[in-house]
Amino acid sequence: MVCLGNICRSPLAQGILELQTRLHGLVWEVDSAGTSAYHVGETPHRLSCKVASLNGIDISKQRARQFCAKDMDYYDRIFVMDTDNLRMVKELSGDRWQPSKTSLLLYVLENTDIQNVPDPWYGEEENYHAVYKLIQAACEKIVLNNITRLK
């Protein structure tokens, strides 16, 4: 899960997907990163932590890190929160870029015109709740798609 600073959207996405995989008995390694190094080592944004906690998820132990080219080799799937960060993931990946394993997170949702998960950084708490709902819907779809494929 990748966003800009790895303190708002991608930590939420990591926490939500980790919960969904546990609920369905899947053993997946889930991680998050940012395309920038602005917040490396910091905890997620206080409102991301609050919204996650209100939904039964503790993301407070996560620490921001920057996406690196090795991530492209290591992870099976890389979901990115918006088109700007997708472009940055491609740049940061260099010759390791694998478009077949990288996509916008919201592409998994059907019947939506929304392409990007909005960045709640400058918004109020309700923006974080709205982002949570979008990410949750996408993560549920990711898990259900994989369960269906495994059967």
Q: What are phi and psi of 36, to 5 degrees?
A: -110, 165
Q: Which of 8, 9, 65, 71 is catalytic?
A: 9
Q: Return the H-helix or E-strand segment holding 132.
A: helix 125-150
Determine which one of 31, 71, 82, 119 is catalytic: 119
**What's the CA gap between 133 and 4, in Å, rounded?**
19
* 119 catalytic per annotation: yes
Phi/psi of residue 33, nearest 5 degrees = -155, 170
**48/46 Cα distance (integer angstroms):** 5
96 classed as catalytic: no
Q: Please state the length of the chain.
A: 151
- Look up residue 103 and give its DSSP letter: E
- In the set 3, 8, 49, 139, the catalytic residue is 3
Residue whose pair of structure tokens reads 């979008």 in the numeric block: 134
Catalytic residues: 3, 9, 119
